[in-house]
Structure 1
Amino acid sequence: MKIGIAGGGPAGLYFALLMKQLKAAHEIRLLEQNSANATYGWGVVFSDRAVSFLENSAPDFHHDIKSNLEIWDKLVILHKGQPVAIDGSVFSGISRIQLLHILHEHCRRRGVELQFETRLTDPAIFSDCDLIVGADGVSSLVRQRYSAFFQPSLELRSNKYIWYGTPRLFDALSLIFRENRDGVFVAHAYRYNQTTSAFIVECDAATWEKAGFASMSDTESRTYCEKVFEKDLHGHPLLSNKSIWINFVVVRNRRWYHDNVVLIGDALRTVHFSIGSGTRTAFEDAIALAGAFERHGEDVHAALQRFENIRKPSADQLLEVAQKSVAWYENMRCLMHLHPIAFAYDYMMRGGKVDRESLRRKAPKFIAAYEAYAGPARKDRHSAIK
């Protein structure tokens, strides 16, 4: 097969790797608009399960990823200055550029043709291909070109966030909630290598407006955020890398493929960073799509139909949880009055898929602390945010 892939993020690269692994004779060309060394973004984070499933699909790649991970075994929620540890939560992080470089190396080793600094202007450039894969992200040109068939919807959520780094090394995946005269802020912080942590600052629209970020320079925004999280940064600065305030875009598509064109990764659907890495879902898309071709060979229509049929149910479940998580953050100021342990419990229940007993099995120490505060007989409930 001749395969054309738009987009050199994790989804496109991993699919290319898996298809070459499946059949070395496949001719695969991947176009990426950025350079091979573009350092947009900081680190990505995975749950323990999200890394382990890579071992079955690409053992050598899994080995190289695993040897470069920063690993920690708890989530810490800091509210009212009090840290609450959630045990049983194993996560790992890696630099985004390091992850991409490992993927580049494995793809080249398998014979994938990688073309960087090449912007796709028309999918017709792949007209001689048996399969065209749109893995070109939130602003996918492939999706735009065939929008009448994919029927996409793009929803701009109200919260604002900005992606920084910091030399402050966090020893756990940390959610840090802080209030000031302008409103409520949360930082999503995690270490992804031996020198740097990712530090995502998020706030609701009212807080963003009152703080005056719209009229601030990049330096002024960064300085303001450093002051909000002064106690948490321990004297370390925030680092900017083309960091700007943005809104999360919820991408959905009614149809996943058209003729021999298919979408994967963020081009297909976005998953809010509060429930885990979009990189995880990108890998899962690539695995499912490659698995469909392993099942159906070069029957493109049958493979694409199987990809959607197999992948969509689990993806839809994740999206339902993601929507509830987004709503929780958009309404977090309504919960700031809660005791830190009650606040952390509400956070853990926000997706509506976990009850107290399942959380007890996963995080027995946290539930013991919660019941010491609230009492074991207190009626269980999901998050107060609907």
Structure 2
Amino acid sequence: MARVAVLGGGPGGLYFAYLWKTRHPEDFVQVIEQNPEGATFGFGVVFSSRAMDFLRADDPETADVIAARMQTWSDMVLVHRGETVTIDGVGFSAIGRLELILLMTERARAAGVVLSFGTTLQSLDAVSDFDLIVAADGVNSLVRRSFEGDFQTSVSYLDEKFAWFGTTKRFEALTQTFVETELGTFNAHHYRYSPSMSTFIVECDRASWLKAGFDHLAPDDVKSRCEEIFADALDGHALVANKSNWRNFPWIWSARWSHRNMVLLGDALHTAHYSIGSGTRLALEDVLALVKSLEAHPGQIREALEHYQAVRQPVVEKLVRAARDSAAWYADFPRHMRLSPIEFAYSYITRSGRIDDERLRAMSPGFMQRYDAFRSRTAA
């Protein structure tokens, strides 16, 4: 019998624990999470329309259970200069982060995983008797920070600021609202994740953040000012805060994915900018790749962990490159806002370099018909 410690009770950690215990019921699997059960920050998490395909291919039961709780839509919307531009065919699904974690917790517990919530580890000595340590403990990973040199980790931060709120305003699609005010330029990513709640992420460049006084306002005043800035989008609804502090997005990358019997996954290993909506997806995909590698090398931990990195890293690198290109566009969105709404939408949807005109015509024929008509008029 092997002993497996999973540090971190987020979606990635819980999913690994569930999957491994289900497939290897003789093994002892324990999840150690510092927060109490049922506690989490944030609101909804979003997946692209195809993001669940990977899960359905390997674990259709879990995919179906999650999909049944999701809100889905087929288009996305951009609001610029008060004008709405719809980009058809860009489907997404969303689920409440807490609902996803509770669902994963339920399944892990039913599989026989030992769940230790409200447990803070001061050092890794507490798990020294485990055969495998899976670090799914997020951007502040104890495992990674304890051996950053061995994991060859690099950390840097974007200069832009963001804060993650919720709201009772129901949005029918994933919407990006861009506004220019006397305080600066601001963007909100908002989408529903339940019939009655939506995520509402506010972001801005540092100059606007300072000009708006966000560097010294109290949390309630920050919420109120964001409500004023996005009053039209919120349509009388309030923002809901839950650890909705201003943050700088951290770029985390580890050139070595494992050390001794310890292995990283999800945000503990790498981060991808929230603008491509792939953080949770990447963590779940990491889990599937790790489980397959361990099963392909039974009893050979080092070989399995090296195989995990060799197979998975090229896929992750591609997504992270796209995330960096997307983040670069957002860093410069005040300049992009000089474009007309339709040009702005085209700049937005092609920002990561993964979508060219041919693919866009196939994916979003309605939008491209409008864009091509605009180009014909302006060229005449």
1:85 aligned partner, one-letter code: T
CA distance in 1 between counterparts of 2:378 and 2:239 reads 44
1:329-350, Cα deviation, whole Å (9 max, x unpaired): 1111111110101000001111
Paired position in structure 2 for 1:231: 232
CA distance in 1 between counterparts of 2:60 and 2:19 reads 11
CA distance in 2 between counterparts of 1:314 and 1:19 reads 22
1:238 aligned partner, one-letter code: L
1:79 aligned partner, one-letter code: H
Give matches, 1:165-314, under 5 Å. 165-314=166-315
1:173 aligned partner, one-letter code: L
Answer with 262-271 or 296-305: which moved more: 296-305
What's the Cα RMSD here?
1.3
CA distance in 2 between counterparts of 1:52 and 1:70 reads 16
Q: 1:207 to 1:110 in 2, by over 3 A?
A: same
Confirm or deny: 8 A CA contact 2:47 2:278 kept in the other structure. Answer: yes
Paired position in structure 2 for 1:319: 320
**Structure 1 residue 127: Cα displacement:** 1.4
Q: Normalization by structure 1: what TM-score?
A: 0.95
2:53 counterpart of 1:52:
yes
Unaligned runs of 5+ residues in structure 1 are 379-386
Q: 1:216 to 1:377 in 2, by over 3 A?
A: closer
Confirm or deny: 8 A CA contact 1:71 1:93 kept in the other structure. Answer: yes
Confirm or deny: 8 A CA contact 1:275 1:325 kept in the other structure. Answer: yes
Paired position in structure 2 for 1:142: 143
1:284 aligned partner, one-letter code: E
Paired position in structure 1 for 2:73: 72
Confirm or deny: 8 A CA contact 1:18 1:57 kept in the other structure. Answer: no
**Structure 1 residue 99: Cα displacement:** 0.3
CA distance in 2 between counterparts of 1:181 and 1:298 reads 63
Answer with 58-67 or 208-217: which moved more: 58-67
CA distance in 2 between counterparts of 1:172 and 1:273 reads 17
1:293 aligned partner, one-letter code: L
Confirm or deny: 8 A CA contact 1:22 1:294 kept in the other structure. Answer: no
Q: Equivalent residue of 2:240, what SS?
A: coil
How many residues are paired up? 378
CA distance in 2 between counterparts of 1:58 and 1:109 reads 17
**Structure 1 residue 177: Cα displacement:** 0.3
CA distance in 2 between counterparts of 1:34 and 1:375 reads 56
Q: Normalization by structure 2: what TM-score?
A: 0.97
2:163 aligned partner, one-letter code: I
CA distance in 2 between counterparts of 1:293 and 1:348 reads 38
1:122-180, Cα deviation, whole Å (9 max, x unpaired): 12222121111111100111001111200211101100001111110000000000010
Q: Equivalent residue of 1:192, what SS?
A: strand
**Structure 1 residue 280: Cα displacement:** 0.6
1:259 aligned partner, one-letter code: R
**Structure 1 residue 377: Cα displacement:** 11
Q: Equivalent residue of 1:50, what SS?
A: coil
Unaligned runs of 5+ residues in structure 2 are none
Paired position in structure 2 for 1:349: 350
1:207-250, Cα deviation, whole Å (9 max, x unpaired): 00111111111111111111111111111111111211111011
Give matches, 1:83-122, under 5 Å. 83-122=84-123
User: Aligned residues: percent identity?
Assistant: 43
CA distance in 2 between counterparts of 1:21 and 1:362 reads 38
